[in-house]
Amino acid sequence: MNCYTALLCLSMIAVRAVSAASVKPKYVEFDIARYFKQEDLHSCPSSNSAVNSSVANRDYYYQITIGIGTPPQFVDFTLDTGSSDLWVFSADNPALLGTKNGINTESSAIAFNSNISSTFHKLDVPFEIYYGDRTYAAGSLVTDNLDIGGMKINNATFALATTGNSSTGVFGIGFTQNESEAKYKESESSPHPTYLNVPALMKHEGLIHSNTYSLWLNDVKANIGSILFGAVDRSKYCGQMMLVPFYNNYQNYSEHPTQARIMLNGIKLDNELQIDMNIAVLIDSGTSLAYLPEYVVASIGSQIGFEYDYVTQFYIGNATAALKKINTVQLNFSGAVINVALKDLLISLSYVEGLSDDMTVGPNDIAMLALGIAKEEYQYILGDAFMRSMYAVFDLDNYQFGLAQAKYTSAKPDIVPVIASIPNAIAAPGYANTIVDTFMTAYDPKSKTHSPSTSTLVNRPMQTPNGMFNSTQ
């Protein structure tokens, strides 16, 4: 979940519904306007149908509006691929009075009044969730009707929070095995989800063929991005769509992956620096920046001429000087390559400090590198700063991830439903090989030294796109 809370007041400026015969895709599009409000950025520790909704770029987190209840009450949520639960604040929550928890109820609709919904039902199941940025929510599971991009879902299960300290509710769309109420038992081979979350329920109800969704965050200055359930939009990416497997980082508990983690095998800065690694990173739309091992962050920061700042705990330096050194940061995922412009990873320090509403850097601006140091392996995350450069397809049915270079375009959509697998996608060269670093030593910013990691080849079968099994043995 996102640990940066730059809030926006959002208003819907246009709605367009598109439908066709049952043999053709149908989807709904929203146009969303955005308005800025700056808060503290230093708080972070560390059928042939498709459903298409736009998500508003809120600087450092992305928001989607969902209708809840009968009649529908439209509420704003943080869109989060790193978690799996949909939860909303209850209108009875005392925190919504603005007297505690710092929740702002004036900028957007963030609460649901269950008393005026004729289809609401409370379940006798408690709910509690904690995120990496120290935000939390607690309450109980409930059922009610949802309206997502014009697609109606009846009797959906979600959580109604009576306490919490987040700025908005969260629309978690990950694996059901990663729900907060999933039980990890040593005597069992897999975690047990409590309910079908929204993407799984869409498939169960026949609204989409496959539990697959595509995420396009658009460029750093854009007002909108989009999420497309059950389909891909070929107009939003260029080059070949490549497939990589999700990595199972909880093999002692689950036979299959429970999080959207893929292997990051290397980072290259133009022709100046090559950093080899084999780490599993979470592809997380709910996190603003990225968090990688200390020696990786330090190597990149030093290469662009930045110095580590012990106050912000990020690398800071002159943006113009950095861009004269490096243009592109290249990420290698099992042989699939995504290019990220360095300028998109530099954040104006004036914006960070709340002195400007413009996060982009200008000539000779002092900038912060959008890359933090992860203290533990489970904190390795690629968030919005990097995800904006990729068209990301989460195939939760087949435990694989499709990625291609994002195209920033207003061209006519070219939407293709996902029936059984991601269309026109091929396996990345390293699809069947999983090499994982067994340890990494810490980098000391003062002495600028670190030791290289060691790696091990995990010999286990991994499912390929055609359903066959290959072994690395």
Active site residues: 80, 284
Which residues lie below 8 Å from residue 246, measured CB to CB, with a gap of 6+?
257, 259, 260, 261, 262, 399, 400, 401
CA distances from 304 to 182, 301, 344, 411 (A): 43, 6, 14, 35
Please report where in the chains the tokens 């990416």 appear, as a residue: 237
Which residues lie below 8 Å from residue 184, measured CB to CB, with a gap of 6+?
191, 250, 253
* CA nearest to 164, candidates 77, 71, 275, 65: 77
* CA nearest to 8, candidates 137, 112, 110: 110
Q: Give the H/E segment covering residue 170.
A: strand 169-172
DSSP state letters, 318-364: EHHHHHHH--EEEEEETTEEEEEEGGGGEEEHHHHTTS-S--S--TT
Distance (Å, whole) CA 292 – CA 410: 33
Straight-line distance from the first to the last Cα atom of the chain, in angstroms, rounded to the nearest whole number: 37
- Assign 240 to helix, strand or coil: strand
Q: Quick one: three-class SS letters along 119-146?
A: CCEEEEEEEEEECCCCCEEEEEEEEEEE
Q: Give the H/E segment covering residue 203.
A: helix 198-204
DSSP state letters, 11-66: EEEEEEEE---TTS--EEEEEEE---B---SS--------EEEEEEE-SSSEEEEE
Token pair of 8 as six digits = 């926006």
CA distances from 161 to 123, 142, 165, 200 (A): 13, 10, 10, 22
* CA nearest to 61, candidates 214, 170, 148: 170
Distance (Å, whole) CA 92 – CA 363: 49
Token pair of 199 as six digits = 């993407």
Contact assessment for residue 262 and residue 392, using Cβ atoms and an 8 Å cutoff = no
* CA nearest to 314, candidates 341, 282, 346, 337: 346
Strands 136-148 and 151-164: antiparallel
